Amino acid sequence: MRSSRIAEFMRWLEREKGLRFEGYEPLWQWSVTEIEAFWESIWQFFDIRSSAPYARVLSSRDMLTAKWFEGARLNLVEHVFRRADTRRAAIVFGSELAPLTEISWSGLEREVARVAAALQSMGVQPGDRVAAYMPNIPQAIVVFYACASIGAIWSSCSPDMGSASVLDRFRQIEPKVLFAVDGYRYGGKDYDRRAVVGELKAKLPTVETLVLVPYLDAEAKMPGARLWEELPPGPDKLEFAQLPFDHPLWIVYSSGTSGPPKAIVHGHGGMLIKTLKSLALDFDVRRGERFFWYTSTGWIMWNLVAAAPIVDCSIALLDGHPGYPDPGTYWRFVADSRSEFAGTSPAFIGVCMKAGIEPAKIADLSRLRTLGCSGSPLSVEAYRWVYGHVKRDLMLASGSGGTDIAGGFVGACALKPIYAGEMQARNLGVAVHAFDDNGNSVIDQVGELVMTEPMPSMPLYFWNDPDGRRHRESYFEMYPGKWRHGDWIRITPRGGAIVYGRSDTTINRHGLRMGTGELYRAIEEVPEVLDSLVVDLEYLGRKSYMPLFVQLRPGIVLDDALKSRIDDRIRAAVSARFVPDDIFAVDEVPRTLTGKKMELPVRKLLLGQPVEKVASRDAMANPKSLDYFVELARRLDAA
């Protein structure tokens, strides 16, 4: 496609650098071998604004110690506003609580300047943390931009998360200010969250100021809270602190499989240059387009949406249930918001398929050019459904990445054909491979997803990890010096990729990741439950299925009332999205001789692998406990 932004980039490389590539694969190969030259070309092509020059592109190719663009001083949010087109809206917003509204660039800048000034009046300095317990609403975007503009560090949790999960995250980072809504509406139901907000304020001793954003109830108030609308006016002009390339921008969180979730820190410069590359060259978002991805503030895709205007687009936000009162709600919003790019998850595509809706017949999708899809594997049937029922002249941009790198490993490419069930390409600048058990890169075989060269959006560090131990253990132990992500992947002979799901025990529930440790903490607070085990059986071509297995106290029966109480506990402490599909009573939870729950062996067993290949009974503390799961696997396979 000559009109694509990646084709424009290739013409620029030939004109400015004398580099000519015959197709995408040679370009990708150059981008992951000559990585300094590639990332410098991204800087130059997008004309990144820096108040001080960088001394060098990359200090070292050591993935743990690499420093990018040392000496540069910049601000991501400056690039949000630098090419603001006052002829079009900055944000289009829709929700279950209000009709579609538009926010102008001038109005957005005034609000950001107001909140930035308010934060400074509260004593917020560069490096201080500001936390938000807010849904996907314009005020969340405003607070994020305000934080970044003054060098404060943003972190957010979605208000559907229970207090325990939120505290597991925010306690680590010790926020100085907390922004929170009074409640929200989802699926036609109202959820008042003021009691949770009060608990957060009481249990976060570093929070000096609570700002309440009345959202569910315009008249809502809370003792000791400042109201959003009472923050005083700010200056006429928004100023941007000039920060080092690696100054922290935000803190996002891992799933919390073992212990508290890891607090992952990303920097201004890394997120700026990576997002420019990803949205423009991988996703082909065009200048002047409107970018929409249905997400919550607890998913890394929200951060991508918030940063998207740096590629000269505007953004669309939808808060509420995309399938309420029917799955057509999502598609009607795409039409009403006039979005050229819309993003969703394979889980929602599956909901639409099951409901039998015809998006092309219920919504005007004439402006829609690209449909993004991420969060879990997208089946062959889903590809066919999109092209049969959404739109034929559409780029289906299926991708896979991670919160850890705030972006994708593999995904779309406007230069390559689309094959059902296959992501088109390894992303530019991402040296991703499938590794076998011996650490060899393999083609057309399923292996571990491994990244072999550094990239700018890798974590700067984990918060409260002074010696870097947790950082090293999370990614670099299986293949020393190389990033092992925890997904199964196959690189096809034509350069595409198929991702088969998690290779570890992280729960990937409809695109949202959560560690089993957080679930166990909630489940095992139910008095009748002695022990528990949960596995995620989402896998390419299969419906998402998450069973929970509980060992109960002697004499206790797993009846409907107890199941409901377990479900309610998960909703309250973690999130309604992680309520299991089924709950089963077992005599014992399988454990190793060292007492570890055997989550991965049970998962492999239930996905159809033979028991002798997934576990050694001699290495188990209770080998007979596997018998139940062998029988369950047989029943699941028969079904």
| Residue whose token pair is 């040679």 | 26
Number of domains in the chain: 2
Determine the pLDDT at residue 609. Answer: 84
With cut-offs at 50, 70 and 90, classify the pLDDT of residue 252. Answer: very high
Instruction: Check which CATH number belongs to the domain holding 581 and give it.
Output: 3.30.300.30
Q: Domain span at residue 600? A: 507-638
Residue 272 counted as domain residue: no
Q: What is the pLDDT of residues 35-59, one digit of tens each?
A: 999 999 999 999 999 999 999 999 9
Domain closes at, from 193, 220, 244: 244
User: Which pLDDT score is estimated for 593?
Assistant: 61
Among all chains, which residue has been given the structure tokens 């396979």? 637
- Residue in the block written with tokens 């420093």: 67
- H or E segment to which residue 449 belongs: strand 446-451
Q: Is residue 205 assigned to a domain?
A: yes
Least confident of 57-61, 114-118, 594-598: 594-598
Identify the three-state secondary structure at position 520: helix
Per-residue pLDDT, 257:
41
pLDDT per position as a tens digit, 465-508: 999 999 999 999 999 999 999 888 999 999 999 987 777 777 87
Asked if the model's pLDDT at residue 509 lies above 70, the reply is yes
**Token pair listed for 135:** 């849904």
Paired tokens of 563? 């199941």
Q: Reduced to 3 states, what is the DSSP secondary structure of residue 223?
A: coil
CA atoms within 13 A on the CB side of 24: 24
- pLDDT band at 113; cut points 50, 70, 90: very high
Rounded CA separation 143/320 (Å): 20
CA distance 377 to 175: 35
Residue 84, judged by CB atoms within 10 A of its CB (0-12, 13-18, 19+), counts as middle
Backbone dihedral angles phi then psi of residue 341, each to the nearest 5 degrees: -120, 125
pLDDT in tens, 556-595: 999 999 999 999 999 998 888 899 999 999 999 998 765 6
Domain boundary among 192, 225, 244: 244
Half-sphere exposure of residue 158, counting CA atoms within 13 Å on the CB side?
A: 23
Q: Is residue 478 part of a domain?
A: no
Least confident among 170-174, 200-204, 536-540: 536-540
CB 286 within 8 A of CB 5: yes
The three-state secondary structure class of 85 is coil
* Domain termination residue (choose one: 244, 262, 283): 244
Q: Is residue 531 part of a domain?
A: yes
In a domain, 2, yes or no: no
Contacts of residues 631-639 at CB distance under 8 Å and 24 or more positions apart, as own/partner, are 632/584, 632/606, 633/605, 633/606, 633/608, 636/606, 637/608
Q: Is the pLDDT of residue 159 over 70?
A: yes
Task: Give the pLDDT score at 83.
Answer: 86
Residue 578 within any structural domain of the chain: yes
With a pLDDT cut of 90, the percent of the chain lying above it is 79
DSSP string, 581-618: SEEEE-S---BBTT--B-HHHHHHHHTT--HHHH--GG
- The answer to whether 453 and 270 are in contact (CB under 8 A) is no
CB atoms within 10 A of CB 88: 16
Burial class (CB in 10 A: 0-12, 13-18, 19+), 622: middle
Q: What is the mean pLDDT of residues 522-541?
A: 85
Considering only the C-alpha atoms of the chain, give the largest distance between any 2 of them, rounded to a whole number of Å. 77
In this predicted structure, the answer to whether residue 259 has a pLDDT above a threshold of 60 is no
Helix (H) / strand (E) containing 510: none
Q: How many CB atoms lie within 10 A of CB 238?
A: 23
Residue range 6-37, pLDDT digits in tens: 999 999 999 999 999 999 999 999 999 999 99
Containing 333, the helix (H) or strand (E) segment is helix 328-336
CA separation for the pair 331, 365 (Å, rounded)? 8
Whether pLDDT at 258 is above 60: no
Q: pLDDT band for position 377 (50/70/90)? A: confident
Q: Is 110 a domain residue?
A: yes
Prediction pTM value: 0.86
Tens digit of each residue's pLDDT (9 = 90 or more) over 265-320: 999 999 999 999 999 999 999 999 999 999 999 989 999 999 999 999 999 999 99
Q: Which has more confidence, 161 or 431?
A: 431
Single-letter code of the amino acid located at 639:
A
Provide the token pair at 263: 């607090």
- Domain contains 489: no
Residue 256 pLDDT grade (very low, low, confident, very high; cuts 50, 70, 90): low
Picking from 149-153, 476-480, 598-602, 616-620, which range would have the lowest pLDDT averaged per residue? Answer: 616-620
CATH number for 193: 3.40.50.980
